[in-house]
Every structure is written in C-alpha cells, then in structure tokens.
Amino acid sequence: MKVSKNLEVSLPVSQQRLSLSWLLSDERLGLRLIVTGQPWFWSIQSIELPDPGEYIDEGAIILLTGLGFADEPELFSGYAEILANKGAVGIGFGTGLRFDHVPPELIRAAQSKGLTLFEVPLPTPFISLTKKVQDERVRLARLQQESLLAAQEELNVAGGLGVRKLIQQASSQLQASLCIVDSDGRLISSHGIMAPQALKVAKCCLATKKTTSSAGNYEDSNYLIHRLDAHGDRFHLLVILAARQFNSYDRSIVKHCAGLADILVQRPASLRKARSELHTLALATLLGENSSSEILARVFESAADTTGRVRAAVVCGASEHFLNRALTHFDAELAAANRYLFSLEVGSASTLLLFRGTRTPAEIREFFGPNAKSLRIAVGAPMHWSTLNLKIVEDLTVAARTLELGTLIGPQYVGTNWIAQAPVRKALDARSRQTIDRLIEHDTVHDTELVATLEAYLRAAGSLSATASATRVHRHTIRSRIELIAEICEVDLRDPFTRAELLLIILSRSA
C-alpha cells in the first residue's frame, strides 16, 4: 500500500499536519508564496474579521481579502500579531477584490511575526482551498484505516502461531515493549527492550490490587494496562510500555491484540485433556518414568502413518513474516483434515515440522500453497518417530538454510554436514567472534535486526534492491543498516570473498 508523505499513521487524522509545499504545488490553484514561515499547517479557515482571535484554530492558515483593511492597511501589523498569538501559522491573501496586490504592510507584518504568506489570485475561490484540505483529510483517514486493517491482519496471522508470536508482532507494530502475566504474577510472554520494566509494572499493579485497565507513567516511560477477561478467579494483564505517548491508533492496535491474547490464554474444556496429557508427559520425563514412552506414542500417533513413520522437514522463511504466513496456511490445511501441527523453532525464521511418513516431498510443498515461493524446505527420509534425533534435525536445518528461496530438496540431497565438523566449526567460530557475534550482541542490546538483514544481503549477492524486497524494508534503510554492519564488523561488504565468508559463518550458526 502506498502511503502519502502527508500521512502520520500513528496520529488521528484531525491531528495530522499537512505540508505547505503540498498545498502550494497544486498549479490549478495558482498560489504564490511571498513569505516563508512554518512548513506545516493543520487547518485552513476563511475569516474576514479584523480581530478574529476567538475563532482561530491553532496551526491554521487564515484566508482573507482584506475587506476590513482597505482604508487602513497599517492595521495589518496588529492583525498579524493577533494571528501569531492565537497560534495561526500563515495567511492566504486574496487579491483582485479590495487589493490588486498583496499590501507591503501585510508582507512586513508576516515577516516580523514568522507567518507564512501566500497570494490567492482572484480566479481561485477560497472554498477550493478548504475543499482541497477537506478531501486530503478524507483520503488520509482512508489510508489510516487501511493501515490499521493491515496491522490487525498481521496480528491475526501472528496470533495463529501462538501468544509469543502475537506479542512479538504487537511489539514491532507499536515500537513498544509488551508482557502478559497471569493473576499470580507468572510471566506468560514478553518482548521488547523494556520487557523487564513492563513486567515490573504488571507485578506492581498486582501487588497493589490495581488490576483494572488503566494508563500511567513508569520512570520516563508511559504504560497501558489491559485486563483480559477473567476465567473464574484467574485473569491476565497485558502491559504495554513505551518511551512516548500512546494515541488512538496505538489503542486500536492494543485492543485488537488484547482480544486475540484473551483467546490464546484461555483454557477451553476441549483442550483440557490434551493439556493434561502434556503435563503428565512433562512430569514423567522430569522423573525419568518409563511410562513416558507410552504417552509419547499416544502423542505422536496423530503425526505418524499406520506404521509409526514420520517425515521431518525444516522450513526456513525469507523472514519471520513470511514463515509465519506459511505456517498459518499449513495449520489451516491440517485443521481442515482434522490433524494437528507438530512444530519446533530451530533458529531464526526456521521451524522443524513433522509429516506422516507416507507424504512425498511434492505433497509437503503443496501444504504451503503460494507461500512456498518464500520458503527453503529440506525434507528427510521416512523414519519411525522414535528414531528422530537432534543430528537429523541439524542436518536438515543446515541443508535448508543453504537453499535458494522457493527450493525444496528431498532426503537424497541432505548429505554430510561438513559445516558442523569440528575443524571447520573451530575456524568459523573464531571468525564469528570477530564479526557475526558483534551483530548478535548489537541486536540483543538495541532490539535491531542486523543479523537478519546481513543474511538477506549476502543471499542477494550484495544487491540492495533484492535485499529490500526480501526483507520488506525500504532500500535507504537497508543501505544504512549495511553501512552500520560493515562498521561494527570492520569488514568491506563490497568484497565478494568477504560476503561468501560471512554467509558461511551465518550458516554455521545453525549447524
């Protein structure tokens, strides 16, 4: 969606400023700039009163023809002072009615008070200016609504992958830190650089029994607290913390996120049996009970074919966004067949999935529909579920990460993982400490995405345009990130040998 440069999405339309250059650039209006003042305005009003003080909106441009000043142009000095004191930012003066030209007295007054001044020619009615501004407000409102709907759809997709992905997506959209805690203060999920502080806010509210939805300040930040629906005596709090004020757009995002989170943290009766079995398995595994194998068999029965075989596949997305969309599509396909998703995150934008042993690689690709073009998929051989081990998963992960986007390989191409061999790893680890590990630390401290950006850039053979397309980030932003990466790692990313070396290091991190 193309967004106007006038659009400040996070503000209500009535509070969004408009560019004076945008107004003056309309050649049909024939406006002529005389005095340059502020580059922005918020509204435009037509007022002929010599003293319009009580009617002026802050940030307004005032349109007039000077009817009340025809015989006393020297009064323009006091008039400009009134406008400036009331917060007006400019004057549009209509010529050809009482004045053939913009009066020098008005020009001097506008200059002295820092007001923008432009001429409106006689053929241009004032209503055409006010209508242009009104039409732009309507257009911006539509764009803002489209932006909000798109953001809510992204939350829906993330919510389909669980509460953790939902919180991550909301944190990214709001540029804030979030956490969800239950009524006992247990952390359900959190994300963001100020997540620990958000958790402190939540626990403070629980300790003081202030558990209703509210807003306030914490140190130098602002917070929103949204209480989710109670289930018996149990409830959850969603806390959002940011170093800025929240507005109506933010609150719409938070409300939608809270609704999805409320669904995800419930414990429906239909899931109680499955959850109880999971808890039993966890307890048996903790205590080393032999009965855990029987529980595992019941769990994996729904993933395996009639002989107990499964196919493991590692799926890597072009980014977390593309992987989430693909997994949501895959889960919907499974739900339609009344089957369950078996998945495990194995790295950045990488997930291990289990399929029935009778599934072919081609059938596995079809599960992802059109999303397959944004994936790298490595499929293993059919095996009994009990023989699946970490070594197999590691081999699949490395194989998948080396593929081109849109590519799927079967077990015949998942060979020896030479990258994971000790001498190779030792050399790559040493070089990683000088390069990639610095980026990982920077991403952790500053909540950036330099490692993901670098991987996309290396896979794109150093093309900024291809990297921007793959990451859905503006090209200029990619350029700035690459320059920062080169500075942090102290490397020349223009050198193809350097790029090849760094790509091997990144691939080795998943081995």
Residue 7 has pLDDT above 50, yes or no: no
- Does residue 132 share a domain with residue 19? yes
Q: Kindly report the CA angle at 353 between 348 and 354, in degrees rounded to 5? A: 160
Is 368 among the domain residues?
yes
420-446 residue pLDDT tens:
666 777 777 788 888 888 888 888 888
In Å, how far are 38, 68, 122 from 386, measured between CA atoms? Answer: 71, 92, 86
Claim: this prediction has a pTM higher than 0.75: no
Chain centre distance of CA 290: 46
Is 289 among the domain residues?
no
Is 220 among the domain residues?
yes
Mean pLDDT in residue range 321-348:
86
CATH number at residue 471: 1.10.10.2840
CATH number at residue 95: 3.40.1390.20
Mean pLDDT in residue range 266-291:
65
Question: Structure tokens of 79?
Answer: 């008039």
89-135 residue pLDDT tens:
999 999 998 899 999 999 999 999 999 999 999 999 999 999 999 99
Mean pLDDT in residue range 338-343:
82
Is 295 among the domain residues?
no
- Does residue 453 share a domain with residue 344? no
- Does residue 129 share a domain with residue 18? yes
- 142 touches 49 (CB < 8 A): no
- Mean pLDDT of all residues belonging to the chain: 86
> What secondary structure letter does DSSP report for 149?
H
- Does residue 318 share a domain with residue 235? no
Give the separation between CA 487 and CA 403, rounded to whole angstroms.
Answer: 28
Long-range contacts of 16-19 (CB under 8 A, 24+ apart): 16/42, 16/140, 17/41, 17/42, 17/59, 18/42, 18/133, 18/136
Task: Work out the angle between the directed axes of helices 104-113 and 76-85 (0-180°, nearest 10).
Answer: 30
pLDDT bucket at 60, cuts 50 / 70 / 90 = very high
Task: Work out the angle between the directed axes of helices 248-265 and 163-174 (0-180°, nearest 10).
Answer: 170
8-28 residue pLDDT tens:
444 555 567 899 999 999 999
Structural domain including 167 reads 160-265
Is 291 among the domain residues?
no
The total number of structural domains that make up the chain? 4
- Does residue 480 share a domain with residue 400? no
Is 34 among the domain residues?
yes
- Does residue 133 share a domain with residue 165? no
H or E segment and range at residue 94: strand 90-94
291-305 residue pLDDT tens:
556 767 777 887 888
Going by C-beta distance under 8 Å and a sequence separation of 6 or more, which residues neighbour residue 376? 315, 316, 317, 400, 401, 403, 404, 405, 406, 407
- Does residue 171 share a domain with residue 131? no
Going by C-beta distance under 8 Å and a sequence separation of 6 or more, which residues neighbour residue 16? 6, 7, 8, 42, 140
CATH number at residue 327: 3.30.70
- Does residue 432 share a domain with residue 400? no
What share of the chain in percent tops pLDDT 70? 89
477-497 residue pLDDT tens:
999 999 999 999 888 998 888
Is 290 among the domain residues?
no
Q: Which of 211, 242, 265 is the last residue of a domain?
A: 265
**Residue 112 CB coordination number (10 Å):** 13
- Does residue 480 share a domain with residue 411? no
